Amino acid sequence: MTVKAPEGKKPSRFDSAKPMMAGIAVGVVIVAAMILSVVQSRFRSGYVVIGDGLRVNVSVAATDATRERGLSGRFGLASDEGMYFLFQKPDQYAFWMKEMRFPIDIIWINAGAIVDITTDVPIPGSDGVLPTFAPRIPANRALEVRAGFAKAHGLRIGLPISEHLGQSF
């Protein structure tokens, strides 16, 4: 590519490199945005302990991207596995079952204790309607586990939950 110098100015050896440098800069920005997107859509791992020692290994949904994806598209959870949603402040966050393939229990948590439990949340029906599920009082955490988990383990409002959260994987 040949770049013509403005009238009265000698061409610089860098004039022809400017368009290439601009292209490289745009490429770097695009790659950085892609990396950020991947990092924000990754789940961290960890575990929570309910009551006196019931351990649940969790994938942590702490970004908008991971919270929106949640368990969508997965085929199930192990008996000691769950999805743990983190929010900055307590609220009555509504959950839907988009692209869910199995029923779940949702354990709502605030200030390190269970504040509500929604059991046997069904998969979406064939009519395409996606009902939402929210706690009766504000919560800043939600733990999704296999349907029947809460009943099988005698979970109840007020039980403490401690979290042990790790890095992205």
Give the residue-averaged pLDDT of 97-114: 95
Number of domains in the chain: 2
Q: Are residues 65 and 110 in the same domain?
A: yes
State the chain's mean pLDDT as an integer: 83
Give the residue-averaged pLDDT of 91-98: 93
pLDDT of amino acid 152: 97
Structural domain including 8 reads 1-40
Q: 3-state SS string over 47-58?
A: EEEECCCEEEEE
Q: Are residues 55 and 125 in the same domain?
A: yes
Q: Are residues 61 and 23 in the same domain?
A: no
CB contact set of 38 (below 8 Å; sequence gap of 6+): none
Query: Burial letters for 140-168: b for 16+ Cβ neighbours within 10 Å, e otherwise?
Result: bbbbbbbbebbeebebeeebebebeeeee
Of 10-14, 32-36, 52-56, 152-156, where does mean pLDDT reach its minimum? 32-36
| pLDDT over 70, % of the chain | 73
Q: Are residues 1 and 51 in the same domain?
A: no
Indicate which CATH number applies to the domain containing 110. 2.60.120.1140
Number of other residues whose CB lies within 10 A of the CB of residue 110: 20
Per-residue pLDDT at 38 exceeds 50: no
Give the residue-averaged pLDDT of 26-54: 64
pLDDT, tens digit (0-9, with 9 covering 90-100), for 118-156: 999 999 888 888 889 999 999 999 999 999 999 999 999
Q: Are residues 24 and 53 in the same domain?
A: no
Q: Are residues 85 and 155 in the same domain?
A: yes
Block residue for tokens 């029947």: 148
pLDDT of amino acid 98: 86
Supply the pTM of this predicted model: 0.74
Q: Are residues 79 and 145 in the same domain?
A: yes
Q: Are residues 34 and 70 in the same domain?
A: no
Q: Are residues 86 and 159 in the same domain?
A: yes
Q: Are residues 105 and 62 in the same domain?
A: yes
pLDDT of amino acid 128: 80
Under the banding of pLDDT at 50, 70 and 90, the label for residue 92 is very high
Q: Are residues 68 and 95 in the same domain?
A: yes
Q: Are residues 53 and 34 in the same domain?
A: no
